[in-house]
Structures are given as structure tokens and as C-alpha cells.
Structure 1
Amino acid sequence: MKKLMLIALIFTGFSMSAQTAEFGIKGGLNYGATGEYESFSDVSGDFTSSFEDGENKTGFHAGLFAQFEIVGIFLQPELMYTELNTEYSDFDYKLSKIDAPVLLGINVLGPLNIKAGPSFQYVLKNEIEDAGYEIEDVERDITVGYQLGAGIDLGRLGFDLRHEGSFQDNFAQGGEIATDSGFKIDSRPSQWILSLSYSL
């Protein structure tokens, strides 16, 4: 959380030197999945393991954004609440998090813009939607991924399509209740993000 507060202070300083500054709200849908699921068991010294990719599902996001422009280039920090759902063969995995992307962009043609940058993820809640499984907290509360995409600004309204990926794994360990079986899930998502924004 201290890292997120430091980012906010940097943005405040940047806004004081920007030629134009906008603030607004945004929200929308995300479609994707968290990372690889590995299950393993050790019965009578016979260790076995298997790997599985999760099935993409739809989630949502909502939050605030700012945009500071200098000489045709803009910096767009955001603070978003995001919920992700991923379906694996034995259970559904639900992740709630705060996303803080910091995107650098440029207007390329009329209302069209492109943008990219790092995305900081702070995990709020991580749970298995099945009573037969237990899961621990993720390894790191804060991790860094990336977002890149394009947007269209139509007055106060904006439409945005991005892809989000990860730079590093962030596993959560778990297991079946009353068995010697276990698993781990990479909580960093790979997803498409579709947003609608409104400048205040």
C-alpha cells in the first residue's frame, strides 16, 4: 500500500506541470483468466503432478482515472477495483484486487489514441468457491504487470480496449481438506479489458 501512496504523490506533482489535466470515472468488463494451476499428490512416496490452464470468464472493474498532457503526450494513472473469475476443472477461483496502471499515451489520429505502461496489482481477496478446498494468501500482495491498448475519446466519453499480462508469477498454495493432495495457482491474470470512461 505504501507503494501505491508513493505513486499517487508522483502523479500530484506531475499534474502541477501538465498543460492540461482531466479527471473522471470509468468501468467495464474484463475477459480472461488467472495463470497456471498445478495439482500434486504424494501418496505412499509416489509423487504425481499435473498442470492446467484456466477457462476464460467475464469479470468487471470500476474506479477513477486522471490524464495529464504535455506537448501531445499524456500520462494516465488509474485506480481500479477489479474482480476476476477463473474456472478450473475442480473449482472456480475468485480474485478481488486493486489495479493501479500508469499508462503513457499519444493521440495518433483524430480521437484515436494508443497507450501502454506498467500495472500494479494489490490483492484484496483470493478464494476458492468450493467447500472441499482451502487456499492460502498469495505470495506477494503487490506485483507488477503491463497493459497496452487503444482508445477513442468522444468529448467527455471515452472507450478503451487493452490487454493485460504479467511480468512475474504470484502463486497461492492450497489443498483438499483431509487429503495429502495440494495445488498452487498463479494469481496474475492474462485478460482483455473493455472500459467506458467519463471525464468530470
Structure 2
Amino acid sequence: MFSSLLALLAVTSIALASPLAPRTGAWCEGLGITYDTSYNFTLAALNTTLANANSTGAPLVPGQNGATDGAEYEVLSTWATYPYLDFPTMSLVDGVLTPNSANGVPSYDMQAIEGQPLQFFTTSESSSGPSAQIYCAIVDTDPDFQGLPLLAVNGEADNFALCMSGDESYAQNNVVWRPTADNNGMYLYETCYNVTLQLVGGSS
């Protein structure tokens, strides 16, 4: 009983110390202490296959993923393989994760598809888009290590990987949800390694 009370107090103190108010929407159900709205943060990919990995992962930015008339498509890429700040920060609003364009053009998230990179699109042709309420930030509740919040999609925070889009010198290292060898050439499966996605900074 006493140990349960101590654990509850530890979790509560972490929640109160967070600059963002804990919240549970349908997209955060079953994930513990969470929030689903934050502005102007960045993302980092922490390599979970390394025993001595840094506490903060590799910086991520929205990288190029093609274009059509009036719209551009993005994926989350490492800064090391796509060193451009077209989208300096990200925002999470009611479970919708979007890149913040440097020139103010609105972006929208797309449904996460198993075996594919997380995708976004940017367009000025419409004031709204088919945004997907599928993301949530999980507050670290371990009293011995108060790490950065982790991003979850479709209720999962531990099935992300970084995978190279090809073997060319300009290939991007992109975030993929539940990677698979059968991916229609979108990435090289043998290059994939598991990561968690950290939220760095942000404000309510």
C-alpha cells in the first residue's frame, strides 16, 4: 500500500513538473500520463539498439518526399541526411502532428501506414486538410530517469525505426513506422534500426 502511494506521488510530481498539462484524448488512451497539444518543439530519434546511447537522439526535420501540383510531401528525416530548415519546428494540436513551415504555408499530417514512413503534406491551395488525430506525447513516469516525452502514433511509441531511402549519396535516413522488408523500394530494410521519437522543447 505504502509503495503504491509513493509511486502515485512520483508520477503526480512528474506530471505537475511538466510544462504541459497532462491530457487524455481518444488518441492517447491507455498510454499513461500524456498530452496532445504542444507548440514549437523539435523531434529527435534516440537509437534504442545502443546500450550507451546519448540521452538526446539525432535531430529530425521534415525532409523532401516528392511533390504534385500545389502540394509538397514530407517525411521525418535526420538532419544529418537532410540539412535544411524548411520547417524549423513541429506542433501537436489535439493529436494532430504538423510541421511549421518557415514561410507560413500550412501543413497537414497523413494517416500512419504500417511499413511506411510517417508522412505530411504542405499546400496553400486549401485552408484545411485531412489531418489525422493519431499522435500523442507520453510523459516519462520513471522517478529514477525523467527523460524527454516520447511521441506515440496509433497508441505505439516503440515501433519506430530509421531507415535509409536508398544507397545514393543524397539518400535520406527516414522515420518508418513498423518497417518491413516488403516496402516497394521505399527504403532499404537492412539499414533500419529501432528508435524512439523524443519531443524537445515546446510550449502549451
Q: TM-score surpassing 0.5?
A: no
Normalising by structure 1, what TM-score? 0.25
Normalising by structure 2, what TM-score? 0.25
Which has more radius of gyration? 1
Greater fraction of residues in strand: 1
